Amino acid sequence: MSERRAIPFRGGGFNPVPRRLLPWIVFFLLIAAWQAASSAGLLPALFMPSPAAVIDALYVLWTNGTLAQHVGASLGRIIPGWIIGTGVGLAAGLAMGIFSAARAAGLPIVSALFPIPKIALLPLLILWFGIGEPSKIATIALGVFFPTVISAYSACDSVPRNLIRMGQSFGLPATDIVAKIVLPGAMPGILAGFRISASVALLLLVAAEMIGAQYGIGAFVLAAGNLMQTDQLLAGVVMLSILGLLISWGLGSVERSVLRWR
């Protein structure tokens, strides 16, 4: 018998494991490096203000109430816009998911209109609704509507047919099959669609506010840029990031509670 040798290990890896601390460390290292570069005079303050300057600007905007005014104006557009677009989109998308006729009628229209960048319709919507809030809300609603329709009807398609057959085999009426099998089964897809439509809403909000608004985070960022107040500009961008994170956190907690069974 020859010498015994261990079999070399060649498995493992390719399996993401959560690391609690690492994300924070990287985040703070990046900020610290940025601050260090600013303090050492490597970054011109006008074009790239230091993190401290941005935080300072945020604090000033917060205390003098400017921030609340702009954020309030933005929320007053994105919330009704998203709710209207989502409500109408879900109604249309679920109808297309459940009824063949609704799908045959709706699919060509949705396919033709979905690729249009909705901001291109803002001038038309301004002509229709005036320069005030309704045209901005309508732009956001329109932008949210199409991805919601698509996610809702494909979510209906993804409900396993055998579950529907099971419902039929127990004599469930069609309304019960929709309410107890199709809708809950489509929920994961619908909620995933909310994430997409929320990011579309944020994008359109900023674009619409840059085109014509006195208040709102988009208008504020644009004005700060025109005045070369880059610390305020970045403060506005940080607000947008926080807004996006809050939305995604909110949707995440809705998903966790609605989809607890997963």
Partner 1 sequence: MPLHIEKVSHGYGPVEALADVSLDIADGETVALIGPSGCGKSTLLGILGGLLQPSSGRVTLSGAPPADSLNPFTYIFQDFALLPWRSVADNVALALEHRALGASERRERIAASLAMTGLSDFAAAYPKQLSGGMRQRVGIARALVVRPAVLLLDEPLSALDAQTRELLMEDLLAIWAREKSTRVYVTHNLEEAARLADRIVVLSRRPGRIRDVITIDVPVAERGRSEHAGLLLDVHRRLWSLIRDEAATADREMQRV
What are the residues binding partner 1 (CB under 8 A)?
162-163, 165-173, 176, 180-181, 184-185, 187, 259, 261-262
CB-wise, 5 or 260, nearer to partner 1?
A: 260
Q: Find the shortest distance in angstroms from Cβ 170 to partner 1.
A: 5
Cβ-based nearer residue to partner 1, 4 or 262? 262
**Helices marked H in 99-182 — which ranges?**
100-113, 122-129, 133-157, 161-169, 174-176
CB 219 within 8 A of CB 161: no
- Letter for the amino acid at 37? A
Residue with smaller CB distance to partner 1, 146 or 194: 194
Least distance between partner 1 and beta carbon 181 (Å): 7
**Residue (of 95, 114, 115) closest to 105 by Cα position:** 95
Using only the alpha carbons of the chain, give its radius of gyration: 25
Q: How far is the CB of 174 from partner 1 (least distance, A)?
A: 11
CB atoms within 10 A of CB 213: 22
CB of 179 to partner 1, least distance (A): 10
Distance CA 256, CA 175 (A): 27
Of the pair 2, 175, the CB lying nearest partner 1 is at: 175
